[in-house]
Amino acid sequence: MKEWERIDLSNPTDEHKMLRQMIRDFVKSEVEPQAQEFDRDEKFNIDLFRKLGENGLLGITVPENYGGSGMDSTSVAIVNEELSYSDPGFCLAYLAHAQLMVNNLAYNGNEEQKSRILPKVCSGEWIGCMAMSEPDYGTDVLGMKTSAKKDSDGNWVINGRKMWITNGSIDESGTPADICWLYARTGTDENGRAEISTFIVEGGMNGFHVGQNIEDKLGMRASKTAELVFDNCVVPPENLVGSIGESMIHMMRNLEIERIGLAAMSLGIARRSLHEMNRYATEREAFGKKIRNFGQIQRHIAESWAEYRAMKAYVYETARNTNLSESGNRLDTDGVKLFATTSAKNIADRAIQVMGGYGYVGEYIVERLWRDAKLLEIGGGTLESHQKNITKDLSKNPESIQK
């Protein structure tokens, strides 16, 4: 066999293989046993989250000199896939911290910000969130109204509300995240477009609080979602990230790893759903036969297998081609999220169908995966936003199709 024929895109090096085995063992012993309970009770398992820090996963992409593990996009996909095999809700809290906040700081913050904050967020001492969406602006993010104005002392005064923020609150009593990566409007540029700047808001800063815990979500119930309020919140000048109006660069860089992370979560959901329906189809009998002998059940299993394999190849191929330090892979990071999220939802749906009434109840897991999968078609960009971006990119670069 030639060297290139041996490459396994999902475990390209021994380091990736070991990471997958480590997280798989952790998931089996620590994540799986608590998943149903924390989903039912809509609670975020903070103790378990901090154990991810002990295992070097909270700062997975952060250079080692700041307390991280210095790993790549493929490693992010591996961790998210494995966690979501058992608990996508818990994984969403992990993604909001490790990819939306910590990775963003590692690649866009300055030296002072990185050395002061990264060790705390890599260990899990501090829990982070990223606040972009607002009650009236989601997809249309550049319309955001949250504003930051400089006062006479040189501090930034922030006013506005952010909506749907994962880890915005970390418990039932509304304790805010320890650290919030915040996008706010600082003005309008010469072309009339919003000038958006990035700020680091720390728990305990005056005027930063949780407006409401958003309860009773369809899925992802093991992660907390909150509305955050900034009421004359005073942020010191050293907490501005980069220069004024630089947020587009931060957003573009970070959205790509976010989308790979969300697509990899879909892959975990798909693998687990396939495993459950395949096992059940062998155990269950009807009309004196194993149900896997029925053609309609075979269609559910076989189509799920083919889609799962296609997702897996696309997720790891995209991860391999995504450089954490620069943007440039929007076409495929949008493409893979578009394909993988709906595939995961459909595979979880087929698993419920194959398992009949049992598939519809919590103990059999797949109903939870189906509920969790739906969020992936909305968060981190809706399906429609991916369709819009892909069509735009293919219009600009039609040669991408021929590559």
Q: Which residues form the interface with ligand FAD (CB under 6 A)?
A: 96, 129-133, 138-140, 164-166, 217, 220, 225, 375, 378-379, 382, 384-385, 388
In contact, 208 and 188? CB cutoff 8 Å: no
Residue that is written with structure tokens 């990819």 in the block: 99
* Token pair recorded at residue 354: 């194959």
DSSP 8-state symbol, 96? I
CB nearer to ligand FAD: pick between 273 and 385: 385
Mark whether 258 is an active-site residue: yes
**Strand 128-131 relative to strand 179-188, pairing:** parallel
In contact, 98 and 57? CB cutoff 8 Å: yes
* Token pair recorded at residue 285: 């009998």
Question: Who's near 273: CB < 8 A, 6+ residues apart?
Answer: 304, 344, 347, 348, 350, 351, 366, 369, 370
CB nearer to ligand FAD: pick between 138 and 335: 138
CB nearer to ligand FAD: pick between 155 and 213: 213
CB 354 to ligand FAD: min, Å: 27
In contact, 30 and 55? CB cutoff 8 Å: no
CB 389 to ligand FAD: min, Å: 10
CB nearer to ligand FAD: pick between 100 and 270: 100
CB 201 to ligand FAD: min, Å: 13
Per-residue CA distances from 107 to 182, 185, 241, 247 (Å): 15, 21, 11, 13
* Token pair recorded at residue 65: 């000199």
Phi, psi of 286 (to 5 degrees): -145, 140
Amino acid at 228: L
The single residue of 42, 82, 258, 276 carrying the catalytic annotation is 258
CB nearer to ligand FAD: pick between 22 and 383: 383
> CB nearest ligand FAD: which residue?
138
Residue 110, sorted as left (phi over 0), alpha (psi -120 to 50) or beta, turns out to be beta
CB 136 to ligand FAD: min, Å: 8
CB 233 to ligand FAD: min, Å: 17
Q: Indicate the SS3 state at residue 318.
A: helix
Active site residues: 258
